A and B are shown apart, each in its own frame.
Chain A
Amino acid sequence: MSSLLKKAFLNAKKENRPALLTYTVAGDNTKKKSLEILKSISNFADICELGFPHNTPIADGGQIQTSAYRAIKNGIKIKDVFSIVKNFKKSKKNTPIILMGYYNMIFQYNENKFLEKCKKTKVDGLIVVDLPYPENKSFASRCKKNGVNFIQLVSPTTSQIRLKKIIKDSHDMLYYISMLSTTGGKLKVSPKKILERYNKIKNQNKSKNVVIGFGITEKTIKSLKKADGLVVGSAICREISKSIERRQNTVTNVTNIVKRLRNKIQ
């Protein structure tokens, strides 16, 4: 059985382009709005990452922090995150959803209950920022058993031996962090260098879909289009902040930026 994630990558490949992955925070700036944004951008994005916000995010830069704090302030709870996914899937059942967040939220909810809920609401994948390999081994294998992709992260500091082990333990997708940075940093490594490292990972096992994230904006996305997939997060969160500040329509503005991103890799 092929996962929705795999299919999304395959579809993009058929069109000879990388898959476009977006990241938005659930509940930013309200539950209703974030669902509307998600539905609208999924017309142009292949895979949607949805953050469940935490108030002590140790790997996120300013843009995503702002979105997370805003969502928490507006009362977002884990149960709302799942209900957003559920509602999204009602009309967009073929668009994969990846939940992304920090481990304490899952730990407090209870790992198994969390997975149960993922399964029920048809979450396709999970990224847990502060649960690295091998600490994630048991949880990751339980995810797999429940049909949820546990997405392993790889960074420029990951050693070759470690990389091999991580790939062996990974599911359909790997996430390559482009540089030493929190999310939303300025791309400080040349695209050429990033793609070199990307190829090293890719060459280990061609069947794994490897996406690149961190530092990807309208300006930089085209230069990395050889990858299987590209993730844009902070640039979108920034657009939400800007739209709110200017009292403009967040759904329209965010959809437009995603549309432009998609056109750049077409």
Chain B
Amino acid sequence: MGGGKFGGSFIPETLKKPVEDLTNEFKRLRNNKEFLKKRDYYFKNYIGSPTSFVKLENLSGHLGGAQIWAKVVSEANGGAHKIYNATVHALICKAMGKKYIVGDTGAGYAGKMLSMAAKKFGLKCKIFMGAKDIKRQKPNCDAMRKNGAEIVPVYSGSQTLVDAVSECMRYWVSNCDNTHMCVGSTVGPNIFVKICGWSTAQISRELKTQLKKEFKKIPNKIKLINCVGGGSSAYGFWSEFIDFDKKQIELIGVEAGGPKKSKLHAAPLSRNAKVGILHGAASYVCQNKEGQINDTESISAGLDYPGVSPIHCFLKDSKRARYTYATDEDALNAHVMVTKFEKLNPSLEPSHAFAEAIKIAPKLSKDTIIIVNSCGDAKKDRDILRERLGKH
């Protein structure tokens, strides 16, 4: 079966046509030189590519063992990797002649970036967001409103990302004739996985060049560590390196383990969830025996999602990538340590990845290069950090 077990397009009949139209349009655009030029222009001049690649000297020195580096994707315009997907979707929306764009958001970054891109390209924007997330990610909500987007609070279910995606899809079912939908991660019906992965792949293209420049060649022992919620930043960080031997470049995905004392988590890959269908695609999904989707819990709104990208399911099954999880407490501790030693302020999502780096670095040789994708900035986590750490 290979990759055939995952992904797909499990969608209501009404969405068949708009999904097909989008699929055809994207097929055309991704091979269109003009469009690629446009993409590269905005990636460079609007997003600010390339983001920097830096050695975390102090943290490496403190831990001993492997060298720890960071790809500081949070330098991108808006403060996270979500800007790549948002920009590409806005460009596609324009190309298709649609004036309205809608999207989902958990941590608020996908929403903030979509609102930015919508403003930049003159589109009207609606963002669907769980009521719980609106409360805990206020700075990003303020930004969305400032950009002129309407935030639609979602009160159903657990009031988090999973419900936001459902509600956004429902809205699209009702308005697909004049509205373009952007799915905020490499999840959802197949075409959305494709578009998002194609967009975030910029991260690894840059990293490849930066590695060659820094080390003269691709080093022999690399570990690429990335947090995984839906999995868009991880896929973008890894895509250029998937064909490498895993002995040379190990791919490590870190999911949200939730609070230490809670049974709830958002780690379908590393905690052996079963395959199920969620939001139009087959993937490992946190669910009960009957197929009802489980509630998830994580301090990180961006990772707080019961499903995961079909691409990561495939990378797990083929053993190309290794998946583990970090608890809320691990992530908080990692955040504290990184900010103490470095001039870096990773949000709670990449703090999960840093937790794994901190855990394994001391046991590894000095010529091992650990690279963490610092894919989001912690400004949005201001309130949570204040509450949990007391200071800040």
Contacts and interface: CB of A to CB of B under 8 A. Distances in A.
A7 to B, nearest CB: 26
Contacts of B166: 56-58
B292 A132 contact: no
B291 A104 contact: yes
B23 to A, nearest CB: 14
Contact of B174 (A65, A105, A154, A182): A182
Interface in B14-52: 14-18
For the complex of A and B, the 10 pairs showing the least CB-CB separation, nearest first, are A108-B291, A157-B17, A155-B14, A104-B277, A153-B13, A104-B291, A59-B12, A105-B291, A130-B10, A58-B169
Contacts of A60: 170
A162 interface: yes
Given A54-B291, A72-B292, A180-B174, A132 B276 contact: no
A163 to B, nearest CB: 10
A104 B173 contact: no
Interface size class of A (residues with CB under 8 A): 35 or more
Report whether over half of chain A's contact residues are helix, strand or loop; otherwise say mixed: loop
A65 B154 CA distance: 13
B13 A132 contact: yes
Interface string A43-70: 0000000000011111111000100010
B8 interface: yes
B16 A105 contact: no
Given A56-B166, A78-B290, A104-B278, A157 B176 contact: yes
A177 interface: yes
Interface of B: 8-18, 156-157, 162, 166, 169-170, 173-177, 274, 276-280, 285, 287, 289-293
Given A65-B156, A69-B156, A58 B287 contact: no
B296 to A, nearest CB: 12
B12 A54 contact: no
A162 B15 CA distance: 13
A77 interface: yes
A56 B293 contact: yes
Interface of A: 54-61, 65, 69, 72, 77-78, 102-105, 107-109, 129-133, 135, 153-159, 162, 177, 180-182, 185
Contact of A181 (B10, B174, B279): B174
Nearest to A162: B16
B290 A107 contact: no
Contacts of B290: 77-78, 105, 108-109
Contacts of B162: 56
Q: Which residue, of A57, A129, A159, A182, has the highest number of chain B Cβ atoms within 10 A? A: A182
A108 B12 contact: no
Contacts of A130: 10-12, 277, 280
Contacts of B12: 58-59, 129-130, 132, 153, 155
A55 B173 contact: no
Nearest to B178: A180
A82 to B, nearest CB: 13
Q: Which residue, of A108, A129, A158, A159, has the highest number of chain B Cβ atoms within 10 A? A: A108
A108 B287 contact: yes
A180 B175 contact: yes
Given A153-B12, A180-B14, A108 B276 contact: yes
B176 A107 contact: no
A162 B16 CA distance: 10
A158 B173 contact: no
Given A55-B292, A105-B291, A155 B13 contact: yes
A153 B11 CA distance: 12
Given A133-B13, A157-B177, A182-B170, 8 more contacts: A58-B279, A104-B285, A104-B291, A107-B276, A131-B10, A155-B14, A159-B17, A185-B174
Given A56-B166, A56-B278, A56-B279, A154 B13 contact: yes
Given A55-B157, A56-B162, A135 B292 contact: no
B9 A158 contact: no
A55 B13 CA distance: 20
A155 B12 CA distance: 9
Contacts of B173: 58-59, 180-182
A124 to B, nearest CB: 21
B277 A103 contact: yes
Given A56-B157, A180-B176, A181-B174, A103 B10 contact: yes
Q: Which residue, of A104, A105, A129, A177, has the highest number of chain B Cβ atoms within 10 A? A: A104
Contacts of A103: 10, 277
Contact of B287 (A65, A104, A181, A185): A104
B325 to A, nearest CB: 22
A103 B170 CA distance: 17
